Chain A
Amino acid sequence: MVKLNSKTQDALLFYALRFISLLVIGLLLFIIFILFKAAWPAIIHNGLGFIIRTEWNPIENQFGALPFIFGTLVTSFLAVLIATPVSIFVALFISEYLPTQFSRIISTLVEMVAAIPSIVFGLWGIFFLSPLMKSTLAPFLKTYFGYLPIFSGPSFGIGILTASLVLSVMIVPTISSICRSIFELVPQHQKEASYALGSTKFEMIKMAVISPSLSGISSAVVLGLGRALGETMAVTMLIGNSPLISKSVFAPAATMASVMANEYTDANTPLHVASLCYLALLLFLITFLSNLFAKTIVKNFSKIG
């Protein structure tokens, strides 16, 4: 084997690394390009009005994305709303209350929830959560909060709230494991500084653990949001798949991802296919913006903290 001189070796390494890194970026741009190309007929036909139109009728060549954008945003935000407090409590319990040997076991178990395939969550939703929603949860919410418009109308088990609940379970591991690793970064001397001033454990957690971790918690939440926005299988199984915009969380709806999964195989007009690709492009844009937003929060917070 020829021994390369050190200069050549370093140069080779540099070019190899640069090539592979550029390949990944190139792939990203390539995917965007292909998506754009596939969506082009729909962009021409529908224009930007696509985003605000509400009719979706492929047979009549009517394509409006608003119900799907609505479905995606509402289910994801509801999921984050439910999952965030739960995740923070789980993370605090693991990092601040459990002795080390148990905290490892529990955090592994929580992270294993993330390993459950989406379709299994979907089945769990259909066979367990959806009947529970119909028989217990929805009647309970209607009895006590029925005066709120979001809890109006009947529940058939599947719909926005059911999908959001399953989504929230799916993103708890993401948010809680990031929060836990952030909380574990808090140095012992900060906690002791708080204890030494006569704070209770609750006050210590508030001032020494939560408050310096706010930027990290927000980025964890946005990463969870990112996962919820794109989640397809479980949501498709549980949301009811009707392109409706309704005020009740019991009503069926559809998300951008679910309509793509449902209709792609049946789409037989070129415009229908292109419109689904247009939706895909928009979904990509939304997740891209949410990631960008997460980065901005982290930047702003780290200026303070």
Chain B
Amino acid sequence: MSNIEMKEKVILEAKNLEAWFGDFQAVKGINVSYGEKTINAIIGPSGCGKSTYLRCLNRIHEEIEGTKVHGEVLLEGKNIYDKKIDVVDVRKRIGMVFQKPNPFPSMSILDNVVIGLRLQGITKRSTLMETAESCLKKAALWEEVKDKLNSLGTSLSGGQQQRLCIARALAINPPVLLMDEPTSALDPIATAKIEELMNEIKRDYTVIIVTHNMQQAARISDYTSFFVYGKMIEHGLSSDIFTNPKEKQTEDYISGRFG
């Protein structure tokens, strides 16, 4: 089901990944590989475990009380759930953008972008400024904020805040970027801007994006996985999934008969 031919080098791989909230199993045995510098969409009806699955990939799921995860996630061949691995290092290499824009309310735009670098002990002002500029440019926000870098991050509009969060995630230069419905709280114009910038960041990063919006998945992704009730029904090239799905359930979903 998930063993499709891929021309890219594998960077991230889930093996028999399962996740629980208390006794409720939200993710049931996921096996999938993601290629370097690709955009991978995860689609499926609400409550199908796609967000939970995504949150297992950088071990943020375990920050919620009463949750557990079984299985393996291999980042460049190394299991991030291995006891010897420091979870802090994992999250420095697998960035995340959340559904709701969440800039730090007490920090300026500039501080929001470079906080990840500061956490790593980088304090040189020129380095911080360079990174801030390049990341804000990648996030297509530079032109809008370059004259007010010291204003609060929360003073921006919702769409700008989300791009600020993308810049913040890019600043620590993680090879993999997870995005959990990053445009679901935004208007169509802001959404278009974010989709545009995703095509740009694809050159340097691997993106895994959960989306509720099938058109979005079809527009931006190279590969798509379809989830139902915590299981991955189908995974393949987006061009195949959206035009010629192998599974009946996938076809029903993308044609709007289900979900």
Contacts and interface: CB of A to CB of B under 8 A. Distances in A.
A binds B: yes
Interface of A: 99-100, 187-200, 203, 207-208, 211-212, 214, 304-305
B98 A197 contact: no
B42 to A, nearest CB: 17
A225 B105 CA distance: 28
A124 B158 CA distance: 56
Interface in B88-122: 88-92, 95-96, 98, 100, 102-107, 115-116, 119-120
B111 to A, nearest CB: 10
Max chain B Cβ within 10 angstroms of own Cβ: one of A193, A194, A207, A211: A193
Q: What 5 A-B pairs come out closest when comparing CB atoms? A: A198-B92, A196-B96, A197-B116, A198-B91, A193-B102
14 contacts: A100-B65, A188-B64, A190-B102, A192-B102, A196-B58, A196-B60, A197-B92, A197-B115, A197-B119, A197-B169, A198-B88, A207-B104, A211-B104, A212-B106
A99 B67 CA distance: 12
Contact of B89 (A192, A193, A198): A198
Contacts of A188: 64
Interface of B: 58, 60, 63-65, 88-92, 95-96, 98, 100, 102-107, 115-116, 119-120, 152, 165, 168-169, 172
Contact of A195 (B63, B89, B169): B63
Given A189-B98, A207-B115, A196 B91 contact: yes
A210 to B, nearest CB: 9
B86 to A, nearest CB: 9
A189 B181 CA distance: 14
Contacts of B104: 190, 193-194, 207-208, 211-212
The interface residues of chain A, by DSSP majority, are classed as helix
Given A198-B120, A207-B115, A212 B88 contact: no
Contacts of B116: 197-198
A198 B165 contact: no
A192 B58 CA distance: 11
Contacts of B105: 190, 212, 305
Max chain B Cβ within 10 angstroms of own Cβ: one of A189, A197, A208, A211: A197
A56 B63 CA distance: 61
Contacts of A191: 63
Nearest to B64: A188
B100 A199 contact: no
Contact of A197 (B63, B65, B106, B172): B172
Contacts of A304: 106, 152
A54 to B, nearest CB: 45
A192 B152 CA distance: 20
Contacts of B168: 193, 197
A203 B119 contact: yes
Contacts of A187: 102
Given A305-B105, A305-B106, A99 B65 contact: yes
A24 to B, nearest CB: 35
B69 to A, nearest CB: 15
Given A189-B100, A203-B119, A196 B106 contact: no
A197 B119 CA distance: 8
Max chain B Cβ within 10 angstroms of own Cβ: one of A99, A191, A192: A192
Contact of B102 (A189, A200, A203, A214): A189
A207 B168 CA distance: 14
Nearest to A101: B65
Nearest to B168: A197
